[in-house]
Amino acid sequence: MQESTVTGTILLVRPMKLPCKREVTLENQEFADIIDGNLEIVKLKKRKVAFILDYDREVLRLPLNRDVFTKDLEEKHEIYGPFIVVGLDDDLNYTGLTEQQLR
């Protein structure tokens, strides 16, 4: 994945707070600064989004943020600490989130 100076809209999701939209430079260093941690990037190709989490969230014992369920409700994933949701293009490069993705 190539770093860029392209900007776009992301969702920043912090524990115990409503998600907020931010216009940022779409690059890993910017994301690391926002979540104040080492990055773990989970790409969901079908949804064309990526979740960017703090890699050390369990070691640091970050607070529970959200429970995320798969579409069929068979799997539950607990997400700890702040995380970012960013869009992906067909080549899996970062893009800003569309209005539909933001909803």
The conformational region for residue 58 under phi > 0 = left, psi -120 to 50 = alpha, else beta, is alpha
Q: Say what the pLDDT of residue 70 is.
A: 66
pTM of the model: 0.84
Number of H helices, E strands in the chain: 2, 8
Length of the chain, in residues:
103
Residues 6+ apart with CB under 8 A from 6: 25, 26, 94, 95
Q: Say what the pLDDT of residue 47 is.
A: 86
Q: Say what the pLDDT of residue 33 is.
A: 95
CA–CA distance, 53 with 33 (Å, rounded to integer): 12
Q: What is the pLDDT along the chain (103 residues), one digit of tens a residue?
A: 555 588 999 999 999 999 999 999 999 999 999 998 899 999 988 889 999 999 887 777 888 888 877 666 777 778 888 999 999 999 999 999 999 998 8
